[in-house]
Structure 1
Amino acid sequence: HSSSQVRSHPSLASGMSDLQMVLSDTTAASAVTGSAIAASYNDQIRPLLDAVDRLRHLKVTQEGIQLPTIVVVGDQSSGKSSVLESLAGISLPRGQGICTRVPLVMRLQDDPAADSPVLQLEYSNGRVVTTTEANVADAINAATAEIAGSGKGISDAPITLVVRKRGVPDLTLVDLPGITRVPVQGQPDDIYDQIARIIREYIAPKESIILNVLSATVDFPTCESIRMSQQVDRTGERTLAVVTKVDKAPEGLLEKVTMDDVNIGLGYVCVRNRIGEETYDQARVEEERLFKYHPLLSKIDKDMVGIPVLAQRLVQIQATIIAKCLPDIVRQINDRLSRSSTELDQMPPDLNNVADAVREFFHILKLVCASLEKILVRSEFDEYPDDSHFHATARIAEMFDRYAKKLPAQIPKGSDQLFLMEEMRVL
């Protein structure tokens, strides 16, 4: 916090206390063992993720501190929403055009004891809305309309969707608007630039893992999402690709994911999209059957296919990047806490009542009067050494001197009108 920020938040001390509490938990969580990182659903991963989520909730990113984040990007109609639905087991907004118009932070939390799922939306400075699986898509649309308007525009203000249910992977992902090159009716002409700016903001930090969703029906090198991720991750070490719609274009897919023409460092996972009215369980059964018996798709390594494999890979990658980044995050937060504490100590005491406020007001008024007296009465400008244009007396003298130098040139030589020139120069 800068000094102005500190002054505008009377509860800063309380907030700093909350941050220090989270920081203590974060330090403990960052001591996760290697075995916890290797396990896909190990209980020790949850404290790591909780610590990062709590830091994100405290908005430490506004202080320039980047948090480990899995960012989901893809061209429009790449199947991005279908992948997220399969991971969470819930339905997200669908339709023509851009369905995701604001960043959607999805916090998936496995709760083995939950009898029924608990879903909450958080947005607009702490507003919390509880919803159900049946109504979550409508709730997201309503929150989006409140933030980005009811049209087809987008916003960079995020919505957080918390999903607590049995069997979901412990993951936090940020779903971003799908990339569209040509605006449709109702969209601003610069819609591509707006989306690209939001995507770059999220994928540029080295702490971000890029989950690039690609349709099997297109050539990967032509995907705009690939071009954007390569701009910030040239080696591909932070990029994992998910290939969707594999049942629609199985020919040549094995070569695509093994040749890797687009440099995907974290590898590929191929998935089948849920079709029609299939339940999520039915979709997983059909997916398993597809990759087991299809004459072409069955040749793809089993470590590269299926939503369960994708979930496992994401949890492992997430735990690794969090464990790697947390020590530096703790150091940065401690540095900022120390500076904020120093600023807080240097501030004058709070005004606790009207009498204190009146006393402070008259003190300020006295200082202002003293300053005006120095300037207007005594012509002392030491309070403004760099603002020479404020010094009226000196400026008038400069103007008079310039006038005295120009005047002789306007009077004919030998004229007796120059008789006061010497006096003017003295003045």
Structure 2
Amino acid sequence: MNNPRSNFSSAFGCPIQIPKQNSNVPPSLPVPVGVFGVPLRSGCSNQMAFCAPELTDRKPEHEQKVSKRLNDREEDKDEAAACSLDNQYDRKIRPCIDLVDSLRKLDIGNDLMLPAIAVIGDRNSGKSSVLEALSGVALPRDKGVITRCPLELKLKKMTAPQEWKGVIYYRNTEIQLQNASEVKKAIRKAQDIVAGTNGSISGELISLEIWSPDVPDLTLIDLPGIAREAVGNQPQDNGQQIKTLLKKYIGCKETIIVVVVPCNVDIATTEALKMAQEVDPTGERTLGVLTKPDLVNEGTEETVLKIVQNEVIPLRKGYMIVKCYGQMDFCNELSFTSTIQQEREFFETHKHFSTLLDENKATIPHLANKLTDELVGRIIKTLPAIEKQVHDALQQAKKELQKYTQSTHPTVSDKTIFLVGLIKAFNEDISQTMHGKESWFGNEIRLFPKIRREFRTWGVKLLESSAKVEEIVCSKLPKYEDQYRGREFPDFISYWTFEDIIKEQITKLEEPAVAMLNKVIYMVEEKFLQLANKRFANFQNLNNAAQERALKKR
């Protein structure tokens, strides 16, 4: 197959930078050793690469390792404070994500299966906390369903020192955000406009772009949390609406499913994981993220470890575990670096979960690195298929363009002459139809024979009505002779009496007469629209104007 970079350049008319892959290395991004706040220095790999000890009878060794970790981290504290959220990411991955984002922004995602990361979870699973930790902004936290529309989070790492910047898009609205504190209010306002204020769910996408030195290069789609029952004034079918919306996104075979599950619940009972298993039975596209490790009951840590080690409900992409900072941290304006350090310290000092940190299965930094690696890897893997779909769509568009055989007219005079010619041909068609001389094809029937058939049916009804009038007059004549005859000759009815009888019968014919008239009008309109389509099919505005005039006459 051709190089996808060169082919995409020709298809879209502009060069697209795609990260080069070593032919000896699988098509996925390497995971750098350094992570948020604790970058590895040269020569210190032996100090930071710990082997996982046995879980039983290990207290002295564990305490020594914790002390050693903290001492090393103190030495690197100044360097860690200057370290941004995604220092470990390859800076060439942004073009890959931008390519897919630009296709999705053009609504090409409705026709092509674009790679994406969809985040799902049960209500109160910690899903919003994970997204807040990745994006560095506070999201709405209300009672009931927090996310009521699909929220696309486009996180873009700024290399040069710049101030935080954000933009939110919904419908035809674009709102510039000057600082992170404006995000929550902007999202809530957008959801109220798109989904209403009664807690309803909408499938309309809201997009939020964030530029910051403290975010990874990553695009996520946040979906509503799964609710078993409606809360407050929410519609009773909210739960079903949410499941239908989730299946629409996670059902796509190119979507990576991130399932957020709290550590303090039975993972087998979570609705989000069950939904992921329905659309991804083998777990090939699913990544589990465990939250709230600080709420794990004493004695159940081994169970959590088995889940993360993929021994309970196996997933091809495995599991990660994170401890996110809460809403109070935002309120207290805790620095981003401090929250990352606090999370790392939690896992470093935890008796059971410290081994997961050594295996890169814990903390938000490792999760961000994992998600970016998975997304870019899938994008690179699917580029040939996307290229083929774009090529097929391009060929189809060219075929459609070939239908418009009329050449373009550069000058106003040429355009006027062309337009007059079109209208003149249309008028001639109408004139021919009025005189019963329009052209026809195959078994097609002209307008006049169609109308004549209706009038034949109407003639039969008139004859039937005439016979009834004669019967009625004969039946009423004896009564008139006995009760109403004046100076008239015998067997003669006065004109006024005869007129009353006829009016009564004509009234009965009014409804079928109007029905017949409407049929004839419909036939004429149908013929008019047919002629308009014949002449103006390639000129949508002209065609619409002609059809509006035809229907307005009715």
Does structure 2 conserve the Cα–Cα contact (< 8 Å) formed by 1:110 and 1:166?
Answer: yes
- The match for 2:118 is 71
User: Distance in 1 between the 2:158 and 2:257 partners?
Assistant: 26
User: Distance in 2 between the 1:51 and 1:307 partners?
Assistant: 25
Does structure 1 conserve the Cα–Cα contact (< 8 Å) formed by 2:347 and 2:357?
Answer: no
Q: SS in structure 1 opposite 2:309?
A: helix
- 1:304 aligned residue (352, 357, 361): 361
CA 75–19 in structure 1, closer or farther in 2 if over 3 Å, else same? farther
- The match for 1:273 is 324
Does structure 2 conserve the Cα–Cα contact (< 8 Å) formed by 1:245 and 1:273?
Answer: yes
Does structure 2 conserve the Cα–Cα contact (< 8 Å) formed by 1:73 and 1:175?
Answer: yes
User: Distance in 1 between the 2:445 and 2:135 partners?
Assistant: 61
User: Distance in 1 between the 2:265 and 2:427 partners?
Assistant: 71
- The match for 2:28 is 37
Once the two structures are superposed, the pairs formed by residues 285-300 of structure 1 within 5 Å of their partners are 285-300=341-356
**1:317-344 superposed Cα distances (whole Å, 9 cap, x missing partner):** 0111000111111111121122212322
Deviation at 1:29, TM superposition (A): 2.1
Once the two structures are superposed, the pairs formed by residues 357-396 of structure 1 within 5 Å of their partners are 357-371=419-433, 373=435, 377=436, 382=441, 385=444, 391=450
TM-score (norm 2): 0.62
Does structure 1 conserve the Cα–Cα contact (< 8 Å) formed by 2:283 and 2:316?
Answer: yes
Q: Root-mean-square deviation (CA), in Å?
A: 3.1
User: Distance in 2 between the 1:288 and 1:87 partners?
Assistant: 15
Amino acid at match of 1:29: I
Does structure 1 conserve the Cα–Cα contact (< 8 Å) formed by 2:294 and 2:323?
Answer: yes
Amino acid at match of 1:207: E
Larger relative contact order, structure 1 or 2 (CA cutoff 8 Å, min sep 6): 1
User: Distance in 1 between the 2:434 and 2:20 partners?
Assistant: 60
Once the two structures are superposed, the pairs formed by residues 180-259 of structure 1 within 5 Å of their partners are 180-249=227-296, 251=300, 252-259=303-310
Larger gyration radius, structure 1 or structure 2: 2
User: Distance in 2 between the 1:268 and 1:187 partners?
Assistant: 33
**1:11-54 superposed Cα distances (whole Å, 9 cap, x missing partner):** xxxxxxx996646544x527555588323511221111111111
Amino acid at match of 1:310: L
CA 112–30 in structure 1, closer or farther in 2 if over 3 Å, else same? closer
Deviates more, 1:313-322 or 1:355-364: 355-364
Deviates more, 1:268-277 or 1:101-110: 268-277
Deviation at 1:273, TM superposition (A): 2.1
Does structure 1 conserve the Cα–Cα contact (< 8 Å) formed by 2:147 and 2:224?
Answer: yes
**1:241-269 superposed Cα distances (whole Å, 9 cap, x missing partner):** 11011110152311232354333220111
- 2:100 aligned residue (52, 58, 61): 52
- 2:384 aligned residue (313, 317, 327): 327
- The match for 1:96 is 143
Does structure 1 conserve the Cα–Cα contact (< 8 Å) formed by 2:136 and 2:214?
Answer: no
- The match for 2:315 is 264
**1:335-387 superposed Cα distances (whole Å, 9 cap, x missing partner):** 112221232232245686566444423322333443465xxx47986476499
Amino acid at match of 1:226: L
**1:183-220 superposed Cα distances (whole Å, 9 cap, x missing partner):** 11221111111111111111111110001111112111
Does structure 2 conserve the Cα–Cα contact (< 8 Å) formed by 1:22 and 1:54?
Answer: no
Q: SS in structure 2 opposite 1:240?
A: strand
Q: SS in structure 2 opposite 1:29?
A: coil
Deviation at 1:310, TM superposition (A): 0.2
CA 227–35 in structure 1, closer or farther in 2 if over 3 Å, else same? closer
Specify every segment of 5 or more residues in structure 2 that has no aligned partner in the other structure, as ranges: 1-7, 32-88, 460-554
- The match for 1:345 is 402
Q: SS in structure 2 opposite 1:71?
A: strand
User: Distance in 2 between the 1:217 and 1:350 partners?
Assistant: 68
Does structure 2 conserve the Cα–Cα contact (< 8 Å) formed by 1:22 and 1:55?
Answer: no
Deviation at 1:128, TM superposition (A): 4.2
**Percent of aligned positions with the same letter in both sequences?**
31
TM-score (norm 1): 0.80
- The match for 1:314 is 371
Does structure 1 conserve the Cα–Cα contact (< 8 Å) formed by 2:218 and 2:372?
Answer: yes
Deviation at 1:301, TM superposition (A): 5.4
CA 211–394 in structure 1, closer or farther in 2 if over 3 Å, else same? same
**1:139-190 superposed Cα distances (whole Å, 9 cap, x missing partner):** 1111121211222112111111111111311100000111111011221111
Deviation at 1:137, TM superposition (A): 0.7
User: Distance in 2 between the 1:241 and 1:280 partners?
Assistant: 24
Does structure 1 conserve the Cα–Cα contact (< 8 Å) formed by 2:310 and 2:318?
Answer: no
Q: SS in structure 2 opposite 1:129?
A: strand
- 1:173 aligned residue (220, 227, 236): 220
CA 309–298 in structure 1, closer or farther in 2 if over 3 Å, else same? same
Amino acid at match of 2:18: A
Deviates more, 1:292-301 or 1:100-109: 292-301
User: Distance in 2 between the 1:142 and 1:298 partners?
Assistant: 41
Amino acid at match of 1:367: D
CA 23–268 in structure 1, closer or farther in 2 if over 3 Å, else same? farther
Specify every segment of 5 or more residues in structure 1 that has no aligned partner in the other structure, as ranges: 1-17, 401-427
Deviates more, 1:247-256 or 1:353-362: 353-362
Task: Tell me the number of residue pairs that the alignment of Structure 1 and Structure 2 aligns.
Answer: 378
User: Distance in 2 between the 1:296 and 1:22 partners?
Assistant: 52
